[in-house]
Amino acid sequence: MKDPNEVCIIVQARLGSKRVPQKMVRPFADTTLMDLCIKKITNSRYLPQKNIYASVYEKELSNWILKEKKASKLAEIINYLWLEKSTELVLFRKKLIDQNISEILNLHTYARNFVKKNITINETVLVAQSILENNVENSKIDLGKLTFEYITKNKKDINEFTKKTLDKFISNNQKLNPKDVILYGFGRIGRLVARELIAQEGAGNQLRLRAIVTRSNSEDSIIKRASLLRTDSVHGKFPGTVYEDLENKSLVINGRSIPVIASSNPDKINYTEYGIKNALVIDNTGAFRDDQSLKLHLNSNGVSKVLLTAPGKNIPNIVFGINHDIDIENENIFSAASCTTNAITPILNVVENNLKINKAHIETIHAYTNDQNLVDNMHKKYRRGRAAALNMVITETGAGKAVTKAIPSLKNKITSSAIRVPTPNVSLAILNISIDKKTSLDELNELMRKSSLDGNLVEQIRYSTSNELVSSDIVGDCAASIYDSCATQVSNDGKNIILYVWYDNEFGYTRQVIRLAKYISKVRRKCYY
């Protein structure tokens, strides 16, 4: 050795062996045999420590760069599948499209905490490459779950595993006829829906944003609405381009020209003049809530179905994942219920199916909304007239009663109330439930973890293991319900449980609206979760 501080590693091996190098660097668990040897030697008290830390740093830096290169390769595969094959990859339901390299690597850390097994970037790249090579099309694949299954089943041939597991997804003949979408109203939810429709368009085989309807399409109005779409005080900048085409009264969003139509009458618009046919109207105004008023949309040329982003009267109130299996052929008007209903229903469904609910009280700690006053002023409802940003405001909520529409067995078993608090977004539901079947804290948390990993509610429920979770951490989370496992409480007799469920009452709800919109429009891709 030229340098006395260099470390020489001698490995005993059979004469002529060619597999030693492979064995030394082959990954197992979260390390390699070479790494273990180096660690043991460098920790020795007999070695001079002067330059060890520097060499360790260089090695760690080198390893991280290799991981970044792998993550870059994964991003390349993700983007190709999305744009060319209309196939979206997610990591345990976490979005991978448009994520930077560091975010992709950080999601692997979440995966380790979630499934309690290390999933490396090397392994996910291997599985993603196999998905690409096997021509998977028109699908949504959970790369995390697929990789986890590959590792735990100790499969050697990745292509054979992929072919067998994703047999129904390989060169599937699922033909999706794109659905035109009209946003009637362009407020908080309307703008988030617009963002998501553009972000999820991909190859354009699902939902296509074709028009926005507002009360005015004056130049000033279009300029202001473009600005509100570009930047959002809660959700940040729109990750794309938005230009005003004042001459054609349109917004050009990521190269798509979207006409802004001025109207206060939902039945007086001829959408076919804009090349729109058989469209889904997503009504975000809150002005039309019952079947009769929402039917007016169907009188406009070019409209076939209507989806309300609020609780509706005399129309199906749907929590996607729970009660979406309805007659979409003969029904034309639907409601996506409320943000709170979408948050608590999946959790209550798991508890009801496994532990049986005797009674429950739901207390929602809800962010203030547009219907409250900035400063004290008149309001038709008690207490909501007081300044929203300065007060906690006790008010009523219909979420408890709305749950029973999705889960009829809970009728007359649930009470609910709400407190509006001085935060602009993210809410918390506290579920105080008396159950029939005795349980423990560990059993209950494991039940929720499994429900978030397998079954029909994996898109709706996210299982959090963080002891430091606060409301701002939830902003932008696509799950309808974020189950706080660290806050869960179970009584000594195991018959009363208190669950804490977070939700982004804007974005999380928007994702539920999109899921329902895809379903009723028959453009929902095959999913492997």
Dihedral of the alpha carbons of 44, 45, 51, 57, in degrees to the nearest 10: 50
Q: Tell me, what CATH number does 477's domain have?
A: 3.30.360.10
Mean pLDDT along residues 41-67: 71
**Domain final residue, candidates 139, 165, 191:** 165
For residue 37, indicate whether it is catalytic: no
Residue 147: inside a domain: yes
pLDDT bucket at 200, cuts 50 / 70 / 90: confident
**Catalytic residue, candidates 8, 339, 486, 527:** 339
Pair 367, 309 in one domain: no
| The model's pTM | 0.85
Q: What are the tens digits of pLDDT across the range 428-472?
A: 999 999 999 999 999 999 999 999 988 899 999 999 999 999 999
pLDDT bucket at 320, cuts 50 / 70 / 90: very high
Pair 136, 227 in one domain: no
Q: Answer whether 115's CB lies under 8 Å from 500's CB.
A: no
Residue 6: partners with Cβ closer than 8 Å, 6 or more residues away: none
Pair 382, 431 in one domain: yes
Q: What are the tens digits of pLDDT across the range 388-436?
A: 999 999 988 888 889 999 999 999 999 999 999 999 999 999 999 999 9
Pair 161, 292 in one domain: no
Pair 150, 78 in one domain: yes
Residue 528: inside a domain: no
Greater model confidence, 504 or 58: 504
Residue 376: inside a domain: yes
Neighbours of 1 (CB within 10 A): 7
Mean pLDDT of the chain: 89
DSSP E strand stretches across 147-206: 179-184
Antiparallel, parallel or unpaired: β 333-335 and 526-528? unpaired
Pair 379, 455 in one domain: yes
Distance CA 302, CA 296 (A): 13
Q: What are the tens digits of pLDDT across the range 243-277?
A: 999 999 999 999 999 999 999 899 989 999 999 99
Residue 289: inside a domain: yes
**Domain final residue, candidates 315, 330, 356:** 315
Mean pLDDT along residues 105-130: 86
Pair 366, 450 in one domain: yes
Residue 307: partners with Cβ closer than 8 Å, 6 or more residues away: 280, 281, 282, 283, 334, 335, 336, 513, 516, 517, 520
Domain that holds residue 155: 62-165
Residue 331: inside a domain: no
pLDDT bucket at 514, cuts 50 / 70 / 90: very high
Pair 361, 501 in one domain: yes
Pair 503, 369 in one domain: yes
Residue 325: inside a domain: no
**Range in 111-115, 131-135, 326-330 the model is least confident about:** 111-115
Pair 309, 442 in one domain: no
Pair 371, 393 in one domain: yes
Residue 137: inside a domain: yes
Three state DSSP letters for 342-382: HHHHHHHHHHHHHHCEEEEEEEEEEECCCCCCCCCCCCCCC
Pair 299, 359 in one domain: no
The values of phi and psi at residue 419, to 5°, are -125, 120
Integer Rg of the chain from CA? 26
Residue 38: inside a domain: no
**Domain final residue, candidates 109, 141, 165:** 165
Total domains in the chain come to: 3
Q: Tell me, what CATH number does 299's domain have?
A: 3.40.50.720
